[in-house]
A and B are shown apart, each in its own frame.
Chain A
Amino acid sequence: MNPQSGLLEGARRRTGMSHGELWFRYFELGGMSTALEVEAFLYDALSPTNHDRNLVATALNERFSELGGDHPVPYTDDVDSS
Chain B
Amino acid sequence: MGITFDSEGPGARAASESFGRPAMAEIATVERGPVDVRPSFDLITRFLLDSVVVGVRGDIDLLTAPALEGLLAALIDGGHKNLVLDLADLDFMDAQGLRVLAAVSGRLLSATGSLTIRSPSVAVLRLLDVMAMTDLVELRPVRAEVKTLGAEQRSDAPAAASAALPPEPAAGVPALLAALPVATDLIDAALRMVTALTRATLRSADGVSVTLTRHGQLTTVAASDETIAQMDRDQYATGEGPCLAAASEGHWFHVESLAEEQRWPQFIPRAVAGGIASILSSPLLVGDRAMGALNIYSNRERAFGPEDQELAALFAGHASKILAEARQDVTANEMGLRLRDALGTREVIAQAQGVLMARDGGSAEASYGAMRQSSKRAGVTVRAQAFAILATTHAVTTGQPIAEVTS
Residues of chain A whose beta carbon lies under 8 Å from any beta carbon of chain B: 24, 27-30, 32, 34-35, 50-51, 54, 58, 61-62, 65, 71, 75, 77-78
Contact call A30/B369, Cβ cutoff below 8 A: no
Contacts of B369 in A (CB 8 A): 54, 75, 77
Contact call A32/B345, Cβ cutoff below 8 A: no
Contacts of B338 in A (CB 8 A): 24
Contact call B345/A35, Cβ cutoff below 8 A: no
Contacts of B345 in A (CB 8 A): 28-29
Query: Which single member of B130, B368, B382, B383 contacts A32 (CB below 8 Å)?
Result: B130
Among B129, B342, B350, B372: residue with most chain A CB under 10 A = B372
Residues of chain B whose beta carbon lies under 8 Å from any beta carbon of chain A: 129-130, 132, 338, 341-342, 345-346, 349-350, 353, 365, 368-369, 372-373, 376, 379, 381-383
Given known contacts A54-B372, A78-B373, is B381 in contact with A34 (CB within 8 Å)?
A: no
Chain B residue nearest to A25 (CB atoms) is B342
Extra contacts, 14 of them, besides A61-B376, A65-B379, A75-B373 (Cβ < 8 A), are: A24-B342, A27-B342, A29-B382, A29-B383, A30-B349, A34-B129, A34-B130, A35-B132, A54-B369, A54-B372, A58-B372, A58-B382, A75-B372, A77-B369
Distance of A61 Cα from B376 Cα, bound (Å) = 9
Q: List 9 A-B contacts (CB under 8 A).
A: A27-B346, A28-B346, A30-B368, A32-B130, A34-B130, A61-B376, A65-B379, A77-B369, A77-B373
Mostly helix, strand, loop or mixed at chain A's interface? helix
Contact call B381/A62, Cβ cutoff below 8 A: yes
Mostly helix, strand, loop or mixed at chain B's interface? helix
Contacts of A34 in B (CB 8 A): 129-130
10 A-B pairs closest in CB distance: A28-B342, A28-B345, A51-B365, A30-B349, A62-B381, A30-B346, A77-B369, A71-B376, A58-B372, A58-B382
Among A24, A28, A62, A78: residue with most chain B CB under 10 A = A28
Contact call B376/A27, Cβ cutoff below 8 A: no
Contact call B132/A29, Cβ cutoff below 8 A: no
Contacts of B129 in A (CB 8 A): 34
Contacts of B376 in A (CB 8 A): 61, 71
Distance of A11 Cα from B285 Cα, bound (Å) = 37
Distance of A29 Cα from B379 Cα, bound (Å) = 16
Contact call B130/A29, Cβ cutoff below 8 A: no
Q: Closest CB-CB distance, B377 to chain A, in whole Å?
A: 10
Distance of A34 Cα from B131 Cα, bound (Å) = 8
Contacts of A78 in B (CB 8 A): 373
Q: Closest CB-CB distance, B95 to chain A, in whole Å?
A: 11
Distance of A35 Cα from B365 Cα, bound (Å) = 21
Q: Closest CB-CB distance, B134 to chain A, in whole Å?
A: 12
Given known contacts A30-B346, A65-B381, is B372 in contact with A51 (CB within 8 Å)?
A: no
Contact call B350/A30, Cβ cutoff below 8 A: yes
Contact call A29/B349, Cβ cutoff below 8 A: yes
Contact call B342/A51, Cβ cutoff below 8 A: no
